[in-house]
Amino acid sequence: MSNVQEKLSWIHQEKHQKILMLISELSGEGRFVGGAVRNSLLGLPFDDFDIATTLLPNELMAGLSDKGVCVIPTGIEQGTVTAVIEKQPYEITTLRRDEETDGRRAKVKFTNSWEADASRRDFTINAIYVDSNGKLYDYFNGLQDISLGKVRFIGNPTQRIKEDFLRILRFFRMHAFYAKTELNEECLSACIELRHNLRIISGERITKEILRMLCSKNPWPCIRSMHKNDFFKHIFTINEQAPSFNSQIFENICQLEKTLRMQSDNLTRLCSIGGHHFPRLRLSRNQQKFLNLVYSCSASISHAKTSIAKNIYTCGKDITIGSLWIQQAANMHEKHEAGSSAERLKKAIEFVNTYEITEFPITGKDMLSLGLTGEKIKHSLAYARNWWIDRWAESGTYPSAQDCINHLMDKINNIKL
């Protein structure tokens, strides 16, 4: 068995053979394509399965349903249904070619041509098909590009991008995840020429691509190019005023990650590019809250145990770790400092991860019993908690509830509101 066939051995599993057999029984042909094929050839994990087929969507829906398969019309106008076998979803799409495109969506026409279907896909490494016998169908040398670590558009890059301008960001994301070479010059030039069209793409689609790219092992070459070539104002801002982005902090985070062999999360990486204000991105409330807190805490946090512990109690461990990444990267001025900076960061993160959170012994009810009301309760609790953590750092033991109350009674008139 060749190395390629060994990597594709998953296709012989019973459930994968079953879905292809069912399509065959309906007088159609099905082939796996896309991420599962690409990632298996790269030796990377995968859990999504896409199938291209000669059957029309209504033939799939009716035929598979008659055979007792759960079928969902997830994108039937574009030719896509989802079939579920043994709890595994398969996204099955009829072979198609683009009739009309406007840079956001395409009007498609179904076809029987596998090569026509392949030619409308985005990148060569995404257009490799595999049939039930494990035979490869590679119309645009995708297998060779995988072996060389190249990411490039199928055919003319400008034409591919004009079909869907989001492919500009997909190019950077695919490169960040799969490339071993420099950014392809022809593809990059086309992306630069057409970058202003990213403004017609919805914030939701932009957000999804950016956050996915920032999950890659080394997104720095892509972020560096995007910053250098003025992509950020089209991605992150509502108007075209020059935004304030600092790629140096992002580069420092990547250098720290490389030194530590540890990866920060994608939101912390996003924060390192431009803080917490990205008007075009459609972040969830929790994601925006994370950015806000990491950004604000990174300005005041230090590597002292008391500072870290206070941040843990105020914001939680995840935000504290994000703040430490930003703080250390922002204060790393030369590459030769990466070693010492990384060691400080490693110790700080280890402290966060091993720190046992002890319940603060007093509550708002205790403040009421002292005659405090309104905002003074909030500030008094914060003051008492900071004192409680300071005493722990000095002695290794947390003061009792009564100790906290006694200290408050002595100092309460001096608490700044």
CATH code linked to domain 155-237: 1.10.3090.10
Q: Looking at the whole model, is its pTM more than 0.85?
A: yes
- At residue 1, the pLDDT reads 47
- At residue 243, the pLDDT reads 54
Residues of the chain with confidence (pLDDT) below 50: 1, 242, 416-417
How far apart are alpha carbons 130 and 4 in whole angstroms? 11
Judge whether 1-148 and 155-237 match in fold: no
CATH architecture of 1-148: 2-Layer Sandwich (3.30)
- At residue 240, the pLDDT reads 58
- At residue 103, the pLDDT reads 78
Domain boundaries, the chain: 1-148, 155-237, 244-357, 364-414
- At residue 80, the pLDDT reads 95
How far apart are alpha carbons 378 and 246 in whole angstroms? 35
